[in-house]
């Protein structure tokens, strides 16, 4: 057994900061909850590997864990979790039954916990899967089934690769579900080219890249001018959320609906990807076309969904909840790195000590792209050419 530095979240830290912030999630200082700790790594089992973490991306479910805004997951896990659902790393040691990898391989993780009978995860590793420890750590021990060889020749740099292990499978699953549901209702012969919109965020960007790659009209509704510009470079039309006051009132939603009718020749959107919560949800339903599909992997802001079911029934709109991809789906999504998935990276690459600040800035929605944290000081030779100068 060895001990490594790792970040943790505890119920005590959550309670203390919530009291200081007077129970306001907006005023919570994430950096006071997500703190450096130590983690005891177990001895390798025959099918396990020990991995040096090179880089991770900040994920929104960690914000939920820090703020305990929907479920106090640290409390549910016994008072402490070691978070981190997405990582790129180098294999340092392998068990004697590991066949897929060798020492020195560069790999990416997926976060599937226990699977149901169809292969879909019931829990997420490093979050709500019992006895799991995430990858906001200097090293980790995990089973070989949780790893995929990193596609180092895909044309992306190391930070872009590190942005995708969680987001790409999520977007891939969202898109194939949304398109499959729509095609159950409307055939390609009736409607070949769809209008597809997603609200801001890394998963939404990748979702639209899939839609665009398959020949559909893609629209990105976000408040960040930098992120809209990045998507527009791929031929995806930008819509400024701030121009509609982030849908704070009915008049804002009406103005948004009118704008979207103009963009789509009155047809509106056949597929919408959003959080199924908060102000974007109502706006997304308002601009859904007949037979449309509204799909989401998120439960940010609330666990409760509220909508006019009669109106959605009349419009034949399908509202679909998803969670995460299968293991095979994660591998399939990885095949699209660089050719379809070209993520927008936040301008600053954070260091190990900056990880809490990365999450604090994510919490306040001030980043210009997907936030990446460099964990390793020294990079292996296999990836040194993939590290942009100065980062």
Q: Are residues 98 and 242 in the same domain?
A: no
**Helices (H) then strands (E): counts for the chain:** 12, 16
CATH of the domain at 72: 3.90.180.10
Q: Are residues 190 and 312 in the same domain?
A: yes
Say whether pTM exceeds 0.85: yes
Q: Are residues 175 and 302 in the same domain?
A: yes
Separation in Å, CA 245 to CA 225, 248, 249, 252: 15, 6, 8, 6
Report residue 202 CA to chain centroid gap. 6
Q: Are residues 296 and 351 in the same domain?
A: no
At residue 343's C-alpha, the angle toward residues 337 and 344, to 5°, is 165
Q: What is residue 381's DSSP assignment?
A: G
Residue 275 CA to residue 349 CA, distance in Å, equals: 26
Q: How many residues does the chain have?
A: 391
Q: Are residues 31 and 149 in the same domain?
A: yes
Within a domain: residue 116?
yes
Q: Are residues 209 and 145 in the same domain?
A: no
Within a domain: residue 64?
yes
Domain boundary among 289, 321, 353: 321
Within a domain: residue 381?
yes
Domain boundary among 274, 291, 321: 321
Q: What is the pLDDT of residue 289?
A: 97
Q: Are residues 349 and 248 in the same domain?
A: no
Residue 247 CA to residue 69 CA, distance in Å, equals: 22
Q: What is the pLDDT of residue 304?
A: 72
- Residues of the chain falling short of pLDDT 50: none
Give the structural domain span for 348: 2-163+343-386
Q: Are residues 227 and 375 in the same domain?
A: no
Per-residue pLDDT reduced to its tens digit, 317-329: 999 988 789 999 9
Residue 362 CA to residue 365 CA, distance in Å, equals: 5
Three-state secondary structure string covering 339-377:
CCECCCEEEEEECHHHHHHHHHHHHCCCCCCEEEEECCC
Residue 293 CA to residue 100 CA, distance in Å, equals: 39
């Amino acid at each position: 057994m060895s001990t490594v530095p790792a970040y943790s979240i505890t119920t005590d830290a959550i309670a203390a900061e919530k009291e200081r912030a007077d129970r306001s999630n907006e005023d919570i200082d994430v950096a006071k909850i997500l703190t450096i700790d130590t983690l005891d790594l177990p001895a390798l089992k025959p099918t396990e590997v020990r991995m040096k973490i090179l880089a991770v991306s900040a994920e929104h479910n960690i914000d939920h864990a820090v703020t305990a805004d929907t479920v106090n997951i640290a409390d549910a896990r016994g008072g402490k979790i070691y978070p981190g659902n997405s990582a790129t790393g180098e294999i340092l040691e392998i068990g004697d039954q590991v066949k897929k990898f060798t020492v020195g391989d560069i790999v990416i993780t997926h976060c599937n916990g226990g699977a149901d009978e169809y292969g879909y995860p019931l829990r997420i590793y490093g979050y709500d899967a019992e006895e799991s420890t995430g990858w906001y750590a200097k090293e980790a021990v995990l089973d070989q089934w949780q790893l995929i060889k990193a596609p180092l020749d895909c044309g992306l740099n190391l930070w872009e690769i590190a942005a995708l292990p969680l987001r790409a499978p999520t977007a891939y699953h969202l898109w194939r579900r949304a398109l499959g549901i729509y095609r159950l209702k409307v055939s390609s012969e009736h409607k070949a080219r769809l209008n597809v919109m997603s609200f801001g965020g890394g998963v939404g960007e990748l979702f639209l890249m899939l839609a665009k790659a398959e020949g559909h009209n893609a629209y990105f509704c976000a408040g960040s001018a930098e992120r809209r510009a990045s998507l527009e470079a791929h031929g995806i039309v930008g819509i400024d959320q701030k121009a509609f006051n982030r849908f704070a009132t009915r008049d804002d939603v009406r103005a948004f609906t009118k704008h979207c009718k103009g963009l789509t020749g009155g047809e509106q959107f056949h597929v919408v990807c959003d959080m199924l919560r908060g102000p974007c949800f109502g706006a997304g339903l308002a601009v859904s076309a007949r037979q449309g599909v509204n799909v989401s992997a998120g439960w940010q802001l609330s666990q409760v969904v509220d909508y006019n079911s009669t109106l959605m029934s009349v419009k034949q709109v399908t509202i679909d909840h998803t969670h995460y991809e299968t293991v095979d789906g994660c591998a399939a999504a990885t095949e699209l790195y660089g050719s379809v998935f070209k993520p927008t990276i936040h301008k600053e690459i954070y260091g190990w000590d900056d990880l809490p600040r990365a999450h604090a800035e994510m919490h306040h929605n001030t980043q210009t792209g997907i936030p990446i944290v460099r964990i390793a000081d020294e990079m292996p030779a296999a990836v040194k050419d993939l590290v942009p100068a100065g980062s």
